[in-house]
């Protein structure tokens, strides 16, 4: 009976350690965005320095987007605006199932919620169709030394067949 209790306790310690490692060791990618709203609800910030947790701070100007890879769920962001030296600090949490999020700094500064949104890469059907059409069409890639076009159309053609 004592042996079963010890093994059960050891099993619980292993499970607790596993959960702790999962929660604290999970990496998240935060896309730091400084773009204006297309509808005009908020504008991009003219210049700022952004630091997440203890990572090195980076400068952002209108239209900039960069990423920071962080570990864990709880994070701290510090924003220093260049125009008026205003400092904004916030704490935020990321859920375990979010691998990549978009943090809109202009939304955060303007007080618009949510300033953190899940980010997923979505391929639009038109973009996929365009890629498929390009791979099937005859393509021309620049010119050779004599100024003649370099054709990459039919893969069955060899250099000898093109010279004949």
Q: What is the pLDDT of residues 23-56, one digit of tens each?
A: 677 788 899 999 998 888 888 999 999 999 988 9
Query: Could you write out the DSSP letters of every residue in 59-74?
Result: EE-TT-EEEEEEESSE
Question: How confident is the model at residue 145, as a pLDDT?
Answer: 58
User: Going from the N-terminus, what domains does the chain have, and what CATH number goes with each?
Assistant: 27-118 (2.60.40)
Contact 114, 102 (CB under 8 A): no
Tell me the pTM.
0.62
Q: Is 51 exposed, middle or buried (0-12, 13-18, 19+ CB in 10 A)?
A: middle
Q: Is the pLDDT of residue 57 over 80?
A: yes
Cα–chain center distance at 25: 18
Question: How confident is the model at residue 148, as a pLDDT?
Answer: 60
Question: How confident is the model at residue 113, as a pLDDT?
Answer: 87
Tokens 């292993």 found at: 14
- Kindly report, residue by residue over 96-124, the tens digit of the pLDDT: 888 889 999 999 998 888 899 888 876 43
Q: Is the pLDDT of residue 150 over 60?
A: no
């Amino acid at each position: 009976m004592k042996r079963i209790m010890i093994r059960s306790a050891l099993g619980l310690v292993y499970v607790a350690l596993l959960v702790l490692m999962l929660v604290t060791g999970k990496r998240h990618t935060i896309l730091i965005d400084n773009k204006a709203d297309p509808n005009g609800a908020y504008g991009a910030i003219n210049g700022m320095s952004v630091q997440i947790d203890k990572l090195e701070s980076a400068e952002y100007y209108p239209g900039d987007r960069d990423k920071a890879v962080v570990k864990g769920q709880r994070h701290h962001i510090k924003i220093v605006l260049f125009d008026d030296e205003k400092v904004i600090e916030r704490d935020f949490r990321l859920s375990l199932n979010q691998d990549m999020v978009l943090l809109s700094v202009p939304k955060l500064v303007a007080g618009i919620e949510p300033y953190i949104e899940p980010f997923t890469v979505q391929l639009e059907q038109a973009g996929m169709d365009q890629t498929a059409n390009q791979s099937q069409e005859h393509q021309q890639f620049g010119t050779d030394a004599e100024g003649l076009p370099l054709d990459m159309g039919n893969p069955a053609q060899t250099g000898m067949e093109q010279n004949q």
